[in-house]
Amino acid sequence: MKRVYLDHSATTPLRVESREAMMPLFGDIYGNPSSVHGFGQEAKKHLEDARELVAKCLNAARPEEIIFTGCGTEADNLAIKGIAFANREKGNHIITSQIEHHAVLNTCEYLAKNGFEVTYLPVNEGGRVRWEDVAAAIKPTTILITIMHANNEVGTIQPIEEIGTIAAAENKRRAALGSAVWLYVHTDAVQTAGKIPLDVRAMGVDLLSISGHKFYGPKGVGALYVKKGARIQPILHGGHHERNLRAGTENVAGIAGLAKALELAIMDMDHEQKRLGVLRDQLEAGIIQQVPSLKVNGDTAHRMASVTNISFAFIEGEGILLSLDLAGIAASTGSACASGSLEPSHVLKAMGVETTLAQGALRFSLGHQNTAEDIAYVLETVPPIIDRLRSMSPLYQKTVKS
Ligand code: PLP
C-alpha cells in the first residue's frame, strides 16, 4: 500500500546528515562535557560547536545566548517560568494568546494559580493576534509577552516583529520614567525554525524556543535563545550546566543532531518552502474543487507554506483520520497533544469556527519526502472518504434532505 506522511507539524523523520552528526557521539566520543580531561573536552567541543551553529542560525549575538533543553516544551517552560519567577517582585502580569500550544498555555495557567495575572489575547478569524491588542494589554506590571511565531494547527504567522517593536518602545518609555520593570518578549518558534527565517535581533525578542524534531533533527532536544542580560532563573536545579540555566549533563549527541538539522533546513529553506507551497496549494485547491461544504481555516495571507487546515462539515475529523490511515495517509486533527480528546480545538474555537465545523477539522502538513504523486494520491483518496462518511452522517442526511 502507498504510504503518504502529511503530519510534519507533529514531527519529522530524522535526516541522514543529522544522524551522521550524532553517530560519533553514540560511539567513541562519550566523555562528559563538564569533565576537564581530554574525553570531556572532546565532547565539549561538539557541544560548543553546536551552540555556535545554532546561534548563527538564529542570528544571536553570542553563542552563550543558546541554552540547550530537553525539548520545545522545556524551552517554553524555562522561558516563561524563568522570567516570571525571576522578575516577580517587579511585576506579575503576563500577556499571551488564546491559540498558544499547551506548552505555553498550561505553563501560563500554572503561573496564574501561583500569583501571576495572565491576559489571553483573542485572535481574528484567521487566527492572528492584533498587535494593537498587544499594545493595549500592556500594564505597568507586565513583565512578559509570550506569543508564538506560527500556530501549529493552522499555520498562521503572528506579527512578532511588530510585537518586538511595541515592547522596545514600552521599555524605552519605562526607562524614561525611571522604572526598573523590564518587559520581555518570548516567542515559541517550534513550528517555524527551519521553515521561516528566524533572526532574534530583527524580531526584537528576548527569548525564542525551538525543538529538534520539527526540522528533521532528533526528538527530545530543544533550545532556548536567551538574550544576554535577561533576568531569568532556572526551573531545574542541580549542576552548573548551560550557564546555570539548565542543570543536567547535556544530550551532546542530540544537540549535535539538532544543530546540523537546523543548519541544513536553513540552507534548503527558500527552495523547499516554495516547493511545499506549490504542493500545498495543489492539495488545497484539489480538495476545494472536489468536496463541497468545507472551510479552510487560517490566514492565507500570513500562513506557513507547508500547512493547510480544512474543516469538513457534517463529519468528525477523527473519523476522516482513521479512514485516511487505512488508506496509508497520515494527517492530524490538529495538535498531536490534543488528539484523543473530543474537545474541539482551542485554536479553532478562538478563531470563532463553529463547534461542528471545528470537529470536522483536519490538518495536512507537508515535508521533504512529499511529491506531486503523493498529492495526486491524496486527492484521489480524500473525496470518496468524505462522501462515504457523510452518507453515514445523520446530520448530513438531515441537512441535505431538508
Ligand atoms: N510549541 C509548539 C508550537 C509545538 O508545535 C510543539 C510541538 O508540537 C511544542 C511547542 C512542543 O515541542 P516538543 O514536542 O519538543 O516538546
pLDDT-derived band of residue 213, with 50, 70 and 90 as boundaries?
very high
Nearest-atom number in ligand 1 for the CA of 76 is: 10
**For residue 337, what pLDDT is reported?**
46
Write out the catalytic residue numbers: 337
The stretch 242-252 carries a mean pLDDT of: 97
Tell me the Cα Rg of the chain: 22
Compute the distance from residue 307 Cα to the ligand 1 centre, in Å. 16
| 152 touches ligand 1 (CB under 6 Å) | yes
CA 73, CA 65: separation in Å to the nearest integer?
18
Q: Say if strands 329-330 and 4-5 run parallel, antiparallel, or are unpaired.
A: parallel
Q: DSSP states of 171-208 as a string?
A: HHHHHHTT-----EEEEE-TTTTTTS---HHHHT-SEE
H/E run at residue 307: strand 307-312
φ/ψ bin of 220: left (φ > 0), alpha (ψ from -120 to 50), beta (otherwise): left
Contact between 281 and 366 under an 8 Å Cβ cutoff? The reply is no
Contact between 196 and 174 under an 8 Å Cβ cutoff? The reply is no
Is it the case that residue 205 has pLDDT exceeding 70?
yes
Q: Scanning the structure block, which residue is given the C-alpha cell 477523527?
A: 318
Q: How many CB atoms lie within 10 A of CB 10?
A: 20
Looking at per-residue pLDDT, the higher value among 188 and 334 belongs to 188
Q: How many CB atoms lie within 10 A of CB 237?
A: 8
| 221 touches ligand 1 (CB under 6 Å) | no
**For residue 233, what pLDDT is reported?**
98
Compute the distance from residue 387 Cα to the ligand 1 centre, in Å. 33
The pLDDT tens digits for 6-27 are 999 999 999 999 999 999 999 9
| 72 touches ligand 1 (CB under 6 Å) | yes
The stretch 157-184 carries a mean pLDDT of: 97
Cell numbers that stand for 136 in this block = 493595549
The proportion of the chain whose per-residue pLDDT surpasses 70, expressed as a percent, equals 98
Q: How far apart are the first and last CA of the chain?
A: 40
Q: Say if strands 307-312 and 294-297 run parallel, antiparallel, or are unpaired.
A: antiparallel
Where do the domains of the chain lie, and which CATH numbers do they carry? Answer: 4-11+269-401 (3.90.1150.10), 16-264 (3.40.640.10)
The pLDDT tens digits for 346-375 are 999 999 999 999 999 999 999 999 999 999
Q: Report in angstroms the alpha-carbon separations of 171 from 144, 180, 181, 182.
A: 12, 9, 8, 6
Ligand 1 mutation target, pool 8, 99, 101, 304, most atoms within 8 A of CB: 101
The pLDDT tens digits for 86-140 are 999 999 999 999 999 999 999 999 999 999 999 999 999 999 999 999 999 999 9
Average per-residue pLDDT in the chain?
A: 96
CA 283, CA 142: separation in Å to the nearest integer?
43
The type of residue at 197 is P
CA 320, CA 312: separation in Å to the nearest integer?
9
pLDDT-derived band of residue 343, with 50, 70 and 90 as boundaries?
confident
Ligand 1 mutation target, pool 73, 108, 149, most atoms within 8 A of CB: 73
Provide the residue count of the chain. 402
Ligand 1 mutation target, pool 104, 148, 152, 195, most atoms within 8 A of CB: 152
Ligand 1 mutation target, pool 74, 190, 363, most atoms within 8 A of CB: 190
Nearest to 29 by CA among 19, 20, 13, 41: 41
Is it the case that residue 340 has pLDDT exceeding 60?
no
Residue nearest to atom 13 of ligand 1 (CA): 72
Contact between 276 and 282 under an 8 Å Cβ cutoff? The reply is no
Compute the distance from residue 306 Cα to the ligand 1 centre, in Å. 16
Cell numbers that stand for 378 in this block = 491524496
How many helices (H) and strands (E) the chain has is answered by 13, 12
The stretch 261-286 carries a mean pLDDT of: 98
Nearest-atom number in ligand 1 for the CA of 100 is: 3
CA 276, CA 305: separation in Å to the nearest integer?
6
Ranges of beta strands (E only) in 101-183 are 117-121, 142-146
Compute the distance from residue 188 Cα to the ligand 1 centre, in Å. 8
**For residue 36, what pLDDT is reported?**
98
Q: Which positions ≥6 away from 382 have C-beta within 8 Å?
A: 287, 290, 291, 324
Ranges of beta strands (E only) in 15-75 are 66-69
β-sheet bridge partners, residue 312? 294
Compute the distance from residue 150 Cα to the ligand 1 centre, in Å. 11
Model pTM greater than 0.95?
yes
Ranges of beta strands (E only) in 110-255 are 117-121, 142-146, 184-188, 207-211, 222-226
Compute the distance from residue 75 Cα to the ligand 1 centre, in Å. 9
Q: Report in angstroms the alpha-carbon separations of 72 from 11, 77, 219, 329.
A: 12, 9, 10, 26
Least confident among 202-216, 296-310, 330-344, 380-394 = 330-344
The pLDDT tens digits for 291-321 are 999 999 999 999 999 999 999 999 999 999 9
**Spatial strand order in the sheet of 361-365:** 294-297, 307-312, 361-365
Cell numbers that stand for 26 in this block = 553514540
pLDDT-derived band of residue 342, with 50, 70 and 90 as boundaries?
low
| 79 touches ligand 1 (CB under 6 Å) | no
Nearest to 348 by CA among 142, 26, 127: 127
| 382 touches ligand 1 (CB under 6 Å) | no
The pLDDT tens digits for 46-62 are 999 999 999 999 999 99
Is it the case that residue 338 has pLDDT exceeding 70?
no
| 71 touches ligand 1 (CB under 6 Å) | yes
Contact between 131 and 154 under an 8 Å Cβ cutoff? The reply is no
